[in-house]
Amino acid sequence: MGRGILPKVRPMFSFCWKSRYSVGVRKMDQQHQAIMDGLNELHQEMMKGNRNDAVTPLINNLVSLARKHFAAEERLMASAGFPGLADHRAKHREVSRKVQEFIARHEKGDMAAYSQFMYFLRDWFTKHMENDDREYAPWLAEHGIR
């Protein structure tokens, strides 16, 4: 590395698409990437010190993206007769409930809620894509859904 050139440092909460997240269904992968982009944008605003007016629309957008994604994913699984749909749907409902709890805490001024929220989402989202979502990938592929 040359003098005066610093390596690019990725923020602690940066979500970056990796091939291991792919479920082999283009629409689902695109939605996962959009959610990652939304999480990165939210984190950038929060790191700038923007707490309310700037982040509320970003949080609302993320909630909307997640709801649409969960519904689309569940419709795909239902159309293919995926046997793990009920369990997968329950996981979606549980994370939605937890997100609403974090949002409520944030709205009440709980400053710790933000970092806990971001850690929780980073861990849940990546594990969900790598494990839970990959469970339906072979089934959908066998049923011609790509």
d(CA 26, CA 32): 10
Residue 7 lies in a domain: no
Residue 2 lies in a domain: no
Where in the sequence is the domain holding 60, given as residue range(s)?
A: 25-142
Q: Give the count of domains, the chain.
A: 1
Residue 114 lies in a domain: yes
d(CA 14, CA 17): 10
33-85 pLDDT tens trace: 999 999 898 888 877 876 667 778 888 899 999 999 999 999 999 999 999 99
CA atoms within 13 A on the CB side of 54: 11
83-110 pLDDT tens trace: 999 999 999 999 999 999 988 998 888 8
Contact of 130 with 9, CB cutoff 8 Å:
no
Q: In whole angstroms, how large is the CA radius of gyration of the chain?
A: 17
CATH number of the domain residue 44 falls in: 1.20.120.50
Residue 128 has a CB neighbour count (10 Å cut-off) of 18
pTM (global) more than 0.95: no
